Amino acid sequence: MGEGEKYLRAKKRVENLKAFYIHLAVYLLVNVMLFVLNAVTDPGNW
């Protein structure tokens, strides 16, 4: 395995990790917003 091939594999892994954390952040933000919206619009259940 050459240095160029190692670099490309490492670059692809970093891109995949970055995409995972971006999707995780979006997932968490959407769920927090939905929770807040639910709590604000229907406070009787809390």
Q: 4-41: per-residue pLDDT in tens?
A: 999 999 999 999 999 999 999 999 999 999 999 998 89
Residue 28 confidence (pLDDT):
98
Residue that wins the pLDDT comparison between 42 and 36: 36
Task: Say how far apart CA 32 and CA 36 lie, in whole Å.
Answer: 6
Residue that wins the pLDDT comparison between 12 and 44: 12
Q: pTM for this structure?
A: 0.75
Residue 46 confidence (pLDDT):
62
Task: Say how far apart CA 26 and CA 18 lie, in whole Å.
Answer: 12
DSSP tag of 2: -
